Structure 1
């Protein structure tokens, strides 16, 4: 039985339910639930695993990209290219099982995050006015999106928006850094001397997809909110920049879209991580790059449409000419 189906069985067996802050406080005694921006606690659910049941990776080891790694050419990685530092690839084959990597690139402490239920891959600067934070997986979801927590104050953070929503740091926002998801083949072609995260020392089926056929589902897992407008399927991918979203289907059709002072380009050759049983065998969803008028990479996310609508209900849908 696939991983997310197993969780569903447990949930419907009564092991999880929506609950208010009084309930969660029993599990999280160090979290200040009196300080929160959550208005509807019905949106907060347990995803099945408990706190750190999905273990984040801290201070990962790296190997050279050209050292004969056995990755499939089209399987996705999250790329981080910080000027003056060796480019790094964070394979989704690891992130799909760990969801957060706490790392340091040069002088910048970063958190590389991936929420499989939302297809949301975002890299954050871990520096805040309150100090450098490190993040773990809470095991909780809101609108199907991962709730992270910081180990310093045990505040809860919404991954999709990079903001603390419960606890001492409520309202604090993390800075998103330019990064992008691309195929292993594209990363190595551009960065043959780049670095890639070494296989973590956990017993996981790395390279396999525990969410088989998820991104062709009609309804998202553990989501009860509104569906997107404009007849856009809930699990259609969109490119989010700020509070605007471009349907990936439009970008793929046009190849290049220049709007709102940015250029979004699409190129074939990246497998969906949430389709086939093997990450490198999923259908081709293509590679996206987002740049500004100076040719600089822009922080963005390629997420499912329902996530954008849930967290940006008044956001701009960039549908193109009528």
Structure 2
């Protein structure tokens, strides 16, 4: 695995994973109301290695025209389309920053990506009459990023868009239509689209600090239950609501029509979590989800790992096909 990945593992082991106690965290989070939480056991929340804002979230990013941007055709991006505007947020940047606070078409949004779960979700930052700005706590729950908002310093579960600690406990962020796809797929559909420009941070953008992660036997810093039915924990799944389709089944079929949705797969997107260079990652393909009328259903799509689906949707339905 990558050097940063190994270093994080040593750092976390060095702290003993023992600080799962809000009393320990209060010196770092004096404004967070730890008396309010939906977390059943504090042991579920652990340090991921970096401290608060050790992974620096971005705000007000710059954009450039998609034409001539120079990204590799198979490179993965998070696509957001609001009205007639289309933007691409390359994972070459998100893998190092995990959150981008932006504004698009008058809508304040948070573009989020958790590498350990491979979950890419976009949220409307408006809630309870204010616009929230999000940062990275440096904490993990079920290997998923725990975000925080700078207004109330409440903690949020990225995979659910839900407040889990503090004043905003139980609140839900509205998800904004988005999906992961290749750069080539984005530009073919949006030749006049815009792409996020390289941030002004000293990071080796384009490199994967989690080299070999998505071929690991087990997820990093995860002690929960593995997925049922023999589904490998780090296989990607397509989630629609509380149902999950394993990617290998979708890729083999090319198209699946079930439960009122049409899921299609096409080759051409590199895994961001495979090789040292993101653009060289193995092909995991592009996924699109549509309803029976042919309309996209991007807002309920999670191209994430199976263990994360099972952790956050333990009663979810596994769409394994008739043979299973």
Shared fold by TM > 0.5?
Answer: yes
State the partner residue of 1:232. 231
SS at structure 1 position matched to 2:82: coil
> 1:77 aligns to what?
77
In the superposition, relative to structure 1, how do residues 199 and 260 fare at CA in structure 2: closer, same or farther (>3 Å)?
A: same
Q: CA deviation at 1:245?
A: 0.7
Q: 1:278 — aligned with what?
A: 277
> Which residues of 2 match residues 27-66 of structure 1 at below 5 A?
27-66=28-67
Runs of 4+ in 1 over 4 A off after TM superposition: none
1:48-85 residue CA offsets vs partner (Å, 9 max, x unmatched): 1111111111011100000x22311101000111123x
What SS does structure 2 have at the residue aligned with 1:13? Answer: helix
Deviation per CA, 1:215-237, whole angstroms, max 9, x where unpaired?
00001110000100000011010
CA distance in 1, matches of 2:142, 2:16: 19
- Per-residue deviation, 1:16: 4.7
Structure 2: any 5+ residue segments left out of the alignment? Answer: none
**Separation in 2 of the partners of 1:13 and 1:273?**
28
Q: Which residue of 2 aligns with 1:295?
A: 294
Distance in 1 (CA, whole Å) between partners of 2:290 and 2:82 is 15
In 2, Cα distance between equivalents of 1:188 and 1:282: 20
Check conservation: 1:164, 1:171, Cα contact below 8 A.
yes
Superposition TM-score, scaled by structure 2 size: 0.96
Quote how far apart the aligned CAs of 1:295 are: 2.7
Query: Is the contact between residue 243 and residue 316 of structure 1 (CA under 8 Å) also seen in structure 2?
Result: yes
Q: What is the CA distance between 1:263 and its match in structure 2? A: 1.3
Taking the aligned partners of 1:130 and 1:160, their CA distance within structure 2 comes to: 23
After superposition, the CA RMSD in angstroms is 1.2
Q: Could you tell me how far 1:257 is from its partner in structure 2?
A: 1.2
Q: In 2, are the aligned partners of 1:18 and 1:41 still within 8 Å (CA)?
A: no
Report SS of the residue matched to 2:26: helix
**Match of 1:27, SS?**
coil
Q: How does 1:1-322 map to 2 (within 5 A)?
A: 2-14=3-15, 16-66=17-67, 68-84=68-84, 86-298=85-297, 299=299, 300-322=301-323
Distance 1:273 1:136 in 2: 22
Whether the aligned pair in 1 keeps the contact of 2:83 and 2:105 (CA below 8 Å) is: no
**Contact 1:18–1:43 (8 Å) recurs in 2:** no
Q: When the two structures are aligned, how many residues end up with a matched partner? A: 320
Q: State the alpha-carbon separation in 2 of the partners of residues 251 and 141 from structure 1.
A: 30
Most deviating of 173-182 and 12-21: 12-21
Whether the 8 Å contact between 2:20 and 2:44 is mirrored in structure 1 is: no
How far does residue 321 in structure 1 lie from its aligned partner after superposition? 1.1
Contact 1:257–1:264 at 8 Å: present in 2 too? yes
Q: Helix, strand or coil: the match of 1:11?
A: helix
TM-score by length of 1: 0.97
Structure 1 range deviating more: 286-295 or 157-166 = 286-295
Gaps of 5+ in 1: none
- More deviation, 294-303/157-166: 294-303
Whole-Å Cα distance in 2 between the matches of residues 302 and 17 of structure 1?
31
